[in-house]
Structure 1
Amino acid sequence: MNPILLAADSGSSARSLTITLFVIFVLITLGITVWASRQTRNATDFYAGGRSFTGFQNGMAIGGDYMSAASFLGIAGIIALSGYDGFLYSIGFLVAWLVALLLVAELLRNSGKYTMADVLAFRMRQRPVRTAAAVSTITVSIFYLLAQMVGAGALVALLLGIKPGETFLGMDADTAKVATIVFVGVLMIVYVVVGGMKGTTYVQIVKAFMLMCGAILMTLLVLAVYKFNLSSLLGEAATKSGKGAAFLEPGLRYGKEVAGDPTQTFYNKMDLLSLGIALVLGTAGLPHILTRFYTVPTARDARKSVLWAIGLIGAFYLMTLALGFGAAALVGGAAITKQDKAGNTAAPQLAQALGEKYLGGGTGGSVMLAVIAAVAFATILAVVAGLTLASSSSLAHDFYANVLKRGQTSERQEVQVARISAFIIGAVSIGLAIFAQSLNVAFLVALAFAVAASGNLPAILYSLFWKRFNTAGATAAIYGGLVSAVLLVFFSPVVSGSPTAMFPHNDWHWFPLSNPGLISIPIGFLCGWLGTLLSREPADEAKYAEMEVRSLTGAGAH
């Protein structure tokens, strides 16, 4: 029996079990969402969960928000296919939390109310800054949403056992992927519209628990195969990868040295640096992570929640090493790319191989695959709900209430607009995700990190720490970083000009790097600095002093 692709005799049982487990999870989370809707009475409940979560609960929810499909599916896939170079993602995502903890977590919790723009607009003119923040939040969220939905689509053909020439409910594999993307999009809209922040947070807590249990189980089984000898695991992974010793050395995917082409070698090394910078700085600018700091009652709880999140996330990313190298060793690179060229199904394929080895052949493989598949779908649903909530909240609170209505609107109207916004953002994300199915989900998230670090992070840091900073500087930082990042991505090999691009049969790329962070992040900081110095608008020093006291002490915080 082939240990990689679903065997014919166990295909129907795996399919039934997968669907059953997924339906159970969806029903449980919908129940939580309906319960939370009855506890949502005002804007604070909808946007910030009534600021009622403990540091531990919020830490679990942050972990649930952060450990996305990119972490579980994408990173495992990149490590399985690229070895040492895939490890960069694990380290980058983890180190990024130190930046978030040291620079923004407590200060943001004390200075804001519901969204990132509350901090940026505290001492600026409201309308231009909130408009810019809303545009940036929605852009970053949609990039991130694409990754989750692409991950959902990649799972489907494997989980439902649809092979070439076969159909399921009248759908071939490609149609099933599209249908899944639409289904996930509809579910995420329901979570946000009905449950708000309370429902979304509890869904994320449940998902974080499930994901950690699944990752721990798979890690222990992988290590048990090699009698907890890491050297044996890595050696087998290198052999089965088809790349030999190079699999365990840097340069297989990033920073490649191209013989006889020093220019391309230089670009490859710069791309590696760009990716690293984007991963490390991006977290502190992610809107859906920043809004989580508002759900706790005090700054102390905000710090606690980040510490809990770091512990949870750190343990998880260490386990992605076992999952990635385990998939390379037990599944093999050829079988992984046969199922999904970007490697997004490496973790579920590893689960099936482990199940067949330890749980009794094909049926055991089907059971293990179904369980991990349900965990993966839970991961996707929880993260897309958080992203949709962050972007719809920004559209309603920042743009509608404070820009269009100039603050003259009721909380009820604002929440109603947030719910309508969730439908719009969900529809846009569904449409774009259908075109991005060929890309690795971890890579898509790295692009979201680059956009967040380019537009949001400069504006946040300048607002918190630079007295001279003004409205012109804030809008210049956000738009400068955002536009440069998106334009560079559009003209990069990610979108056109390469076999794995979104449009592989077209070529309009001129920017040589796959990740724009190396260029766009400095542009964001430079635009904020120049915009401030070239503007004649005086900085509001009294407001800055008030913000400084509030951010550092918590006095007057919401």
Structure 2
Amino acid sequence: MTITSWGRTPSAAVLFVAFFVVTTVACAAGADLGQLEKQPTNWTAISMFGAFVVGTLFITKWAAAKTKSAADFYTAGGGITGFQNGMAIAGDYMSAASFLGISAAVMVGGFDGLIYSIGFLVGWPVVTFLLAERLRNLGKFTFADVAAFRFGQTPVRVFAASGTLVVVAFYLIAQMVGAGQLIKLLFGLEYWIAVVIVGALMMVYVLFGGMTATTWVQIIKACLLLAGASFMAFMVLWNFGFSPEAMFARAVDVKTALATDAGQSKIDAATQGFSIMGPGGFIKDPISAISFGVALMFGTAGLPHILMRFFTVPNAKEARKSVLWATTWIGYFYVLTFIIGFGAIAFVLTDTQFLDPKGGLLGGGNMAAVHLAKAVGGNVFLGFISAVAFATILAVVAGLTLSGASAVSHDIYATVVKKGKADSASELRVSRITTVALGIVAVVLGIVFEKQNIAFMVSLAFAIAASANFPVLLMSVLWKDCTTRGAVIGGFLGLISSVALTIVSPAVWEATLGHPAGSALFPYASPALFSMTIGFVGIWLFSIMDHSARAAKDRGGFLSQQVRSETGIGAEGASGH
């Protein structure tokens, strides 16, 4: 199947027009607004930033020439190796939330910020041992291919597309907020202009390059981010004689001094200073802690843009290898974010060049790691980290957009609307139209949620993924009595309850929608403990109550599904071993 329209290679002129429009607007706005923000234009950072954008646009041009079919667009033709895919998954996972959000959370809350690092990381064994191999053997383009393997196609794919789009929307918010704040800081732009620029660039990458461009941008960005974070952590520890104890002691002293300056008594200030070395500041009650941990742990196994990556490798062995490499790099990176967060307390909070007149961080609370880069490495390293942070956001946004577009074009259009008879060209056309729509939605939501911590915004996406996608995926693959009716009703119950509880939680109801403190209808930090339970119970209850002819067919198809999922016999383009 070849693409007859929309998929032609974009000329260099098209790509450069996109780049120059972006940079011209950025530089012009920077000149106008630089004094307003009281931030000098950092031409070193801007030149490195521009060099990265040009480089990734060339990758997109190269990838577009290789994108000839729907398989190429969605999964890079299944030609990515396990090591490459592991790096790309790590690149996908080490998002703006991980780099900017977690380091900012550690800077503010100290030890409490570790809940993000640990929660994000411990979800990987679930993916490794329960899902990675089965995903590769059962799927083609999206996780709905797996969930709907033995079920009625239309209802399951409608649910899967709904779950994917909601998770993608919440995840996109965090990335757009991080990107907007970064470019605002770097160029002196108004925030909304920065968000629009990121949305435009993201659409260029996905529209023309598909999964091949997205994968290589993620691999390059993962290497650069690991190198930059390693250097930053090294420089922080070097300043303390490679003594973590000295770094922690300095951080406690800084927090104590800041509390004293804020007018607190010496006893209260000392207590606040030492509080960063223990839990309880961010998650204030056991139920919130458990619910938050459940979201971060099981949400990993329900993220559509992560699950989609397992279809880019040639067989199940490479899928397992992908998870091994991804876990290795992600685990190492999260150790670095902890050092970076405490380093920011020591070097950023004590330096007035990084603070506004009210004592807040220039560019917002999510910019702790970016300021630390300048503190330990000067303007050149600031430029490098800024470009890498932007690459981080752009690569993740591209992957998210691609998974959302594939949900609409492959699951809804090709399978439900066209009953599996859509040609590659029309499917790709729908995918690209969806990409533009998702880009617009991402820009709007990014502007609305400007003030939120991006790590926390991602945790809400994890909660929804853990409540909707993960239960359906797990039960459809491992429980023989699961039926179409159970999967769809239970999945929608998990999805609706998680979204509803998220909206009426303090983070959205009070912090974003502006209702008075204490008025939130749901008091806990994350809905996952409740909504995931609702999802699993719904799947179980409506499956055992289902005695229809469709249910008998669903149960009868479990054996063939099990054989294929565990042996790979009949899998797309592979024997499985």
Q: After superposition, give the CA deviation of every residue in 1:317-351 in whole Å (9 maximum; x if it has no partner).
A: 01011101111111128966612696201101111
Aligned match of 2:27? none
The answer on 1:82 being equivalent to 2:109 is yes
Match among 259, 265, 273 for residue 290 of structure 2: 273
Aligned match of 2:273? 244
Q: In 1, distance between residues paired with 2:41 and 2:448?
A: 31
Q: In 2, distance between residues paired with 1:539 and 1:67?
A: 43
Residue 241 of structure 1 and its aligned partner are, at CA, apart by 2.2
The answer on 1:308 being equivalent to 2:325 is yes
**TM-score (normalised: structure 2):** 0.86
Task: Specify whether residues 116 and 352 from structure 1 end up closer, same or farther in structure 2 by C-alpha distance, changes over 3 A only.
Answer: same
Match among 309, 320, 326 for residue 337 of structure 2: 320
Aligned match of 1:488? 501
Match among 541, 552, 557 for residue 566 of structure 2: 552
> SS in structure 1 opposite 2:276?
helix
- Structure 1 stretches lacking a partner, 5+ long: 1-5, 163-170, 256-267, 356-364
Match among 211, 214, 227 for residue 200 of structure 1: 214
CA contact (8 A) 2:121 2:327 kept: yes
The answer on 1:502 being equivalent to 2:512 is yes
The answer on 1:468 being equivalent to 2:497 is no
Identity of aligned pairs, percent?
47
Q: After superposition, give the CA deviation of every residue in 1:471-501 in whole Å (9 maximum; x if it has no partner).
A: 111111221111000000111111122xxx1
Q: In 2, distance between residues paired with 1:98 and 1:109?
A: 16
Match among 42, 64, 73 for residue 91 of structure 2: 64
Q: In 2, distance between residues paired with 1:406 and 1:290?
A: 24
CA contact (8 A) 2:490 2:537 kept: yes
Whichever residue aligns with residue 216 of structure 2, its letter is Y
Residue 158 of structure 1 and its aligned partner are, at CA, apart by 2.8
- Structure 2 stretches lacking a partner, 5+ long: 1-33, 257-271, 573-577
What is the root-mean-square deviation of aligned Cα atoms in Å?
Answer: 1.9
CA contact (8 A) 1:459 1:528 kept: yes
Aligned match of 1:254? 283
Aligned match of 1:178? 192
The answer on 1:129 being equivalent to 2:140 is no
Whichever residue aligns with residue 373 of structure 2, its letter is A
CA contact (8 A) 1:68 1:148 kept: yes
Task: Specify whether residues 539 and 453 from structure 1 end up closer, same or farther in structure 2 by C-alpha distance, changes over 3 A only.
Answer: farther
Whichever residue aligns with residue 533 of structure 1, its letter is I
The answer on 1:352 being equivalent to 2:374 is yes
Aligned match of 1:529? 540
> SS in structure 2 opposite 1:180?
helix
Q: In 1, distance between residues paired with 2:451 and 2:515?
A: 13
Q: In 2, distance between residues paired with 1:222 and 1:68?
A: 22
The answer on 1:211 being equivalent to 2:221 is no
Whichever residue aligns with residue 107 of structure 2, its letter is A
**TM-score (normalised: structure 1):** 0.89
Aligned match of 1:400? 413
Residue 13 of structure 1 and its aligned partner are, at CA, apart by 5.4
Aligned match of 2:139? 112
Alignment coverage as a number of residue pairs: 514
Q: After superposition, give the CA deviation of every residue in 1:260-308 in whole Å (9 maximum; x if it has no partner).
A: xxxxxxxx33112111110011100000000000000010000001101
The answer on 1:41 being equivalent to 2:51 is no
Q: In 2, distance between residues paired with 1:485 and 1:509?
A: 15
Q: After superposition, give the CA deviation of every residue in 1:482-524 in whole Å (9 maximum; x if it has no partner).
A: 1000000111111122xxx112256763111121111111011
Residue 407 of structure 1 and its aligned partner are, at CA, apart by 1.3
Task: Specify whether residues 514 and 379 from structure 1 end up closer, same or farther in structure 2 by C-alpha distance, changes over 3 A only.
Answer: same
Q: In 2, distance between residues paired with 1:68 and 1:241?
A: 28
Equivalent residues in 2 for 1:163-174, closer than 5 Å: none
Aligned match of 2:404? 391
Residue 233 of structure 1 and its aligned partner are, at CA, apart by 0.4
CA contact (8 A) 1:341 1:438 kept: no
The answer on 1:512 being equivalent to 2:541 is no
Whichever residue aligns with residue 126 of structure 1, its letter is Q
The answer on 1:293 being equivalent to 2:310 is yes
CA contact (8 A) 2:283 2:525 kept: no
Aligned match of 2:128? 101
CA contact (8 A) 1:342 1:439 kept: no
Q: After superposition, give the CA deviation of every residue in 1:141-161 in whole Å (9 maximum; x if it has no partner).
A: 11001000011122234323x
Q: After superposition, give the CA deviation of every residue in 1:351-403 in whole Å (9 maximum; x if it has no partner).
A: 11112xxxxxxxxx222222211111010000000000001011100001111
Q: After superposition, give the CA deviation of every residue in 1:441-460 in whole Å (9 maximum; x if it has no partner).
A: 00000000000000001000
Task: Specify whether residues 467 and 514 from structure 1 end up closer, same or farther in structure 2 by C-alpha distance, changes over 3 A only.
Answer: same
Residue 526 of structure 1 and its aligned partner are, at CA, apart by 1.0
> SS in structure 2 opposite 1:345?
helix
Aligned match of 2:24? none
Q: After superposition, give the CA deviation of every residue in 1:96-115 in whole Å (9 maximum; x if it has no partner).
A: 11111111111111111110
Q: In 1, distance between residues paired with 2:541 and 2:439?
A: 36
The answer on 1:456 being equivalent to 2:469 is yes
Q: In 1, distance between residues paired with 2:172 and 2:152?
A: 30
Residue 239 of structure 1 and its aligned partner are, at CA, apart by 1.5
Whichever residue aligns with residue 473 of structure 1, its letter is G
Residue 7 of structure 1 and its aligned partner are, at CA, apart by 12
